[in-house]
Amino acid sequence: MEFVSWNNPLFYLGAHGRVRLTKWHRGTVIVAQKSIRQRNQMAAYEFTVSVRTQYLEKQSDPEHGSFVFAYSITIRNTGQVAAQLISRHWVIKDANDKVEEVKGLGVVGHQPLLQPGQQFEYTSGTSLKTPHGTMSGSYFCVAEDGTRFEAPIAEFVLSLPRTLH
């Protein structure tokens, strides 16, 4: 890591250009913020992803270690340029830390092209061997102008209703 001070504040020179450091704790970066130019460039290419989950009791078989969950995804183009979702990458982890990665083209047979402000919704599912788990991942997208970017999918929980873990 290389840290440089340009007339205060301190900046970190990273792989993606300079990043402004806004908080420090014993030499460790706690919060970093990209420079305004980089933030504006990134805002042009941005999908926001929201998730709702549901345990599917009738499709599950807990006695045989099968816990089935549905997840409903809403993908909204919050950027300034039309972009198409090309592929997905999921990381699915059960309560025993068994990890399964899933990669593929599109989502449920679609590669939606979203204009700024448009959204696409779909529902899919997964099966775990434990009653609790998590999913996270990303969508690979290409904007109308050819710019490629990834839309992260924050980790979310898959869990039976009314249970603590």
**Residue 42 CB neighbour total at 10 angstroms:** 13
Which stretches in the chain have pLDDT values below 50?
1-39
Q: Tell me: do 72 and 125 sit in the same domain.
A: yes
Alpha-carbon span 115 to 57, nearest angstrom? 37
Q: What is the C-alpha separation between 79 and 143, in angstroms, rounded?
A: 10
Tell me the two tokens of residue 40: 């504006």
Task: Clarify whether residues 136 and 56 are in a common domain.
Answer: yes
- Return the closest-CA partner of residue 140 out of 99, 116, 104, 100: 104
Residue 94 lies in a domain: yes
Note the pLDDT of residue 162: 77
What local confidence, expressed as pLDDT, does residue 163 receive?
66
Say if residue 16 is in the same domain as residue 53.
Answer: no
Give the pLDDT confidence score for residue 10 in this predicted structure.
Answer: 38
Residue 60 lies in a domain: yes
Supply the range of the domain harboring residue 27: 2-40
d(CA 140, CA 98) in angstroms, rounded, equals 24
Predicted pLDDT at 7: 36
- Do 24 and 79 lie in a common domain? no
Tell the residue number behind the tokens 């913020």, with chain if given.
33
Output the pLDDT for position 124: 97
* pLDDT for res 102: 97
Tens of pLDDT, residues 29-52: 333 333 333 445 557 999 999 999
Q: Same domain for 81 and 26?
A: no
CATH code, domain carrying 139: 2.60.40.1470
Domain shared by 51 and 35, yes or no: no
Bridge partners, 87 (sequence order): 105, 140
27 and 67 share one domain: no
> What does the pLDDT read at residue 41?
54
DSSP code for 9: S
87 and 32 in one domain?
no
Tally the domains of the chain: 2
> Could you tell me the maximum CA-CA distance found in the chain, to the nearest angstrom?
64
* pLDDT value, residue 20: 40
C-alpha span between 18 and 34 (Å, rounded): 7
Q: Are residues 66 and 93 in the same domain?
A: yes
